[in-house]
Structure 1
Amino acid sequence: MINFNYESDFNLDKEEAVAAWISAVIVSENKKEGEISYIFCDDEYLHKINLEYLNHDNLTDIISFDYTVGNEINGDIFISVERVQDNANDFNVSFEVELKRVMAHGILHYCGYKDKGEVDERLMRSKEDEKLSMFHVEQ
């Protein structure tokens, strides 16, 4: 089950379509859907989590807590919509595309993909692009 929670003024458009896409992303990686919660928040909220749980004193766009058991994907994915907007501007893409990329990124981590190091990062970007195309989002 895919859940969407809001700790900011942001609200996701087309929740059902996005949930169906996330489900398809999971199946495309030969995984089973468990309980996945997306929590949309602002920089301040995510920064506090980053400090408290990871001891990192920096802003980030996403923090994911992986509760995957075997082949069943479970976890909490916190996304700063402020960071996503800034990244969209920096990368010259729409907010929608960058948000979907970050949402897929969290799921891909749960599927075992890493993004530390050049080779892993290239594979992660390739997988993100593949998953974005499943939502028919123009990049």
Structure 2
Amino acid sequence: MISFNYETDFKLDDETIISEWISNTISKENCNEGEINYIFCDDDYLHQLNVQFLEHDTLTDIISFDYSVGKELHGDIYISIERVADNAKDFEVEFSEELKRVMIHGILHYCGFKDKTDDDAKLMREKENYYLTALK
């Protein structure tokens, strides 16, 4: 089950469509959907989590806590709406596209994809683009 939680004034327009898209992505990656929570917040909220749990004193757009068991995906995905908006401007893309990219990025991590090496990051970007296209 995918749920959307809000610690800021932001609200997704089409929760049902987005939820189905995420579910389809999980299925296509041969994983099973468990309990996945998206928490949309601001920079301060996410920065506090970054310092407290990861000991990183930096701003970030996403932090995910993966509680998956094998191929059954469970976790909490925190997304800073402020950071996504700034990144969208920097990358010259629509806010909604950048938000969806970040949302699917978290799921792809749960599916086992990494992005620490150049090759892994390239594959991650290809997967993101593939699933973004599937949503349109």
So what's the TM-score if we normalise by structure 2? 0.99
1:98-136: CA deviation from partner (whole Å, max 9, x where unpaired): 000000000000011111121111111001001111111
Q: Which residue of 1 aligns with 2:5?
A: 5
Q: Which residue of 2 aligns with 1:130?
A: 130
Letter in 1 for 2:44: E
Q: Which residue of 2 aligns with 1:115?
A: 115
Q: Runs (4+) of structure 1 moved beyond 4 Å?
A: none
3-state DSSP class of the match of 1:73? strand
The two structures, once aligned, show a CA RMSD in angstroms of 0.5
Letter in 2 for 1:71: K
**Cα offset, 1:19, TM superposition:** 0.4
Determine whether 1:90 maps to 2:90: yes
Q: Which residue of 2 aligns with 1:60?
A: 60
Q: Which runs of 5+ in 1 are unaligned?
A: none
Q: Which runs of 5+ in 2 are unaligned?
A: none
Any residues of structure 2 matched to 1:21-36 within 5 Å, and which? 21-36=21-36
**Cα offset, 1:71, TM superposition:** 1.1
Identical columns (%): 62
Separation in 1 of the partners of 2:74 and 2:134?
Answer: 21
3-state DSSP class of the match of 2:4? strand
So what's the TM-score if we normalise by structure 1? 0.97
Separation in 2 of the partners of 1:28 and 1:134?
Answer: 11
